[in-house]
Structure 1
Amino acid sequence: MAWSAGRSPAGCLLVAATILTGHLSIGWSNDAIDAVRDTIVNRTDKPVVRNLITRRTLAVAASVMLVVTIPVSLANGIAAGLVHLLFVACAWAYNLGLKSTVISWLPYAVAFGGLPSFVTLGTTHTWAPWWATTAAALLGVGAHLANVVPDLKDDLATGVRGWPQRLGANARLLAPLPLAAATALLVIAPAGPIGLVGWIALAVASGLLTTIVLWRQAPFLVTIAIAGVSVAALVLRGGAL
């Protein structure tokens, strides 16, 4: 998206480094904080449960990356850097407890919604248009639902009662809706003709959404595919930012 919005190659690498350091701190802190829960439900896909790394090592690594991502973020410019650090703060707040509340969706909406402006503030020093911000926020809410659905039973067994867990089985059917809305907004809202690529994106998203509605046992990857279409549309519309 940074490239499509006009960032130089060096600027794109800086964006990649910013996102990478921030996400390493987020992912490692998540595994460290959830280590006890993951062990209780025997999450063998987690390195702590498999004794490949200690919880303390993950916590230290996450803290180091949190410190590193601050200057790396601000290297994009003060405004852009602060927007990215807001993203990181939202994710850490989610890991530290908001995931177990009815507003578990809020950190995702705020964090994802700020990502387009992180790119534009570091490129043209302007805020991203409303449609990009709204679509990214919807993408975040959809990602939250889609991310939680496979772990619903484990989460409930360990006392995690966020918004998707409270929805129960309905979370699976609801997850594609904000993703589909994000795709539609990214294709329709920007100025200019929709174009062939836009119509293809809408058709693919509609087909995937129909599949999920008609086939309740549709593979989880179908929902992820809708998210992929949304991301592709956001990248293709980068020039409109």
Structure 2
Amino acid sequence: MPSRAPAGPPSGAPAAGRRRPWRAAWALLQASHLGPALAVTAFATALCAGMGAAVGVWLAMAGAVLLGQLSVGWSNDWVDHARDLRVGRADKPLAVGSLRVGVVRGAALTALAACVPASWALGWRAGGLHLLAVASAWSYNLVLKRTAWSWAPFAVSFGLIPVFTALAVPGRAGPPWWAVAAGALLGVGAHLVNVVPDLEDDAATEVRGLPHRLGARASTVLAAAAMLVATGCLVLAPGSGLIGPPGAGLAAAVLLVAGCAATAVARPWSRLPFALAMAVAAVDVVLLIGALGAQA
């Protein structure tokens, strides 16, 4: 495992307050887990637009989902602040003193508050389910990441994405079961590969989620299986066959999953497997749009 740089001064140190405003803003963006937040926002927006939503609807979807994801990312760093200090997480702005805890806590709660009216603007069904997905993600940060049920919030939140994006489109029914199953499986796979690089740090702070109980190798194998089954659901369940885009999508997903598994085994502390898992999710979003479009 690569060595971690020691943590910097406590997050409330006076030095943090003397940083230039743009540096503080950049640190706040880093604390939001911006990459995954933008990826999930892009997936949900693409699904909504691909199912025929008007521009105003999918723009509203993008705003609501982004606010929800930012609240989840900031709450993660806020809740994990003490743990990150203990293990010297040099990649976390709070742990190195770039931000104060109160700033990140305030950002998380502000984004969450703004997410409520932004979600209701999508309609009570779509908005309510989106808020349920956000609440599920917060439950992971607050409680479930330390239990054997750590996978459940990812299954719930990702499984709800095709549901609330479909229901936001006027006149559109909810998605078929296989779309929900694929989203849930992708969420579980992403959770497993995202946690593997942090297993030792988490063990030092008594976090015992499902990946910690399975170990790095079993978590990687299970993640690969979950992502492949998710893609299989989107290719085989709609009955569109393996000719053309569905077959190409399945082949691309197989290659990405193989790369994800190989990297996780060879370099267990690498973040590349999570990026590859997001690439599988992007392929599956394209497959899902095509499958739902064919059934419309």
Give the counterpart letter for 2:57 in structure 1.
G
8 Å CA contact 1:111–1:140 kept in 2: the answer is: yes
Give the counterpart letter for 1:126 in structure 2.
A
Q: CA deviation at 1:33?
A: 0.4
For residue 231 of structure 2, what is the aligned residue in structure 1?
Answer: 183
For residue 105 of structure 1, what is the aligned residue in structure 2?
Answer: 151
Give the counterpart letter for 2:285 in structure 1.
L
Q: CA deviation at 1:233?
A: 2.5
For residue 221 of structure 1, what is the aligned residue in structure 2?
Answer: 272
Structure 2 unaligned residues grouped into runs of 5+: 1-46
Q: CA deviation at 1:188?
A: 1.7
Q: Distance in 2 between matches of 1:238 and 1:203?
A: 17
Q: CA deviation at 1:180?
A: 1.3
- More moved, 104-113 vs 227-236: 227-236
Q: CA deviation at 1:212?
A: 5.9
- More moved, 215-224 vs 99-108: 215-224
DSSP 3-state at the match of 2:88: coil
From the superposition, tell whether residues 217 and 22 of structure 1 become closer, same or farther in structure 2 (CA, over 3 Å): same
Q: Distance in 2 between matches of 1:148 and 1:156?
A: 11
From the superposition, tell whether residues 139 and 51 of structure 1 become closer, same or farther in structure 2 (CA, over 3 Å): same
For residue 9 of structure 2, what is the aligned residue in structure 1?
Answer: none
From the superposition, tell whether residues 177 and 223 of structure 1 become closer, same or farther in structure 2 (CA, over 3 Å): farther
For residue 25 of structure 2, what is the aligned residue in structure 1?
Answer: none
Are 2:251 and 1:232 aligned? no
Aligned pair partner of 1:172 in 196, 215, 220: 220
Q: CA deviation at 1:238?
A: 1.5
* Identity of matched residues, %: 43
Q: Distance in 2 between matches of 1:66 and 1:217?
A: 38
From the superposition, tell whether residues 231 and 4 of structure 1 become closer, same or farther in structure 2 (CA, over 3 Å): same
Larger Rg: 2
Aligned length: 241
For residue 253 of structure 2, what is the aligned residue in structure 1?
Answer: 205
Q: Give TM-score, length-normalised by structure 1.
A: 0.92
What's the C-alpha RMSD, in Å, of the aligned pairs?
Answer: 1.9
Q: Distance in 2 between matches of 1:149 and 1:14?
A: 34
From the superposition, tell whether residues 225 and 189 of structure 1 become closer, same or farther in structure 2 (CA, over 3 Å): same
DSSP 3-state at the match of 1:237: helix
From the superposition, tell whether residues 109 and 49 of structure 1 become closer, same or farther in structure 2 (CA, over 3 Å): same
8 Å CA contact 1:208–1:223 kept in 2: the answer is: no
From the superposition, tell whether residues 240 and 148 of structure 1 become closer, same or farther in structure 2 (CA, over 3 Å): same
8 Å CA contact 1:180–1:226 kept in 2: the answer is: no
8 Å CA contact 1:91–1:108 kept in 2: the answer is: yes
Aligned pair partner of 2:70 in 14, 19, 24: 24
Q: Distance in 2 between matches of 1:45 and 1:89?
A: 26
Q: CA deviation at 1:71?
A: 0.6
8 Å CA contact 1:101–1:162 kept in 2: the answer is: yes
- Aligned pairs for 1:75-224 (under 5 A) are 75-123=121-169, 124-169=171-216, 170-210=218-258, 216-217=265-266, 221-222=272-273, 224=275
Q: Distance in 2 between matches of 1:199 and 1:135?
A: 16
Structure 1 unaligned residues grouped into runs of 5+: none
DSSP 3-state at the match of 1:190: coil
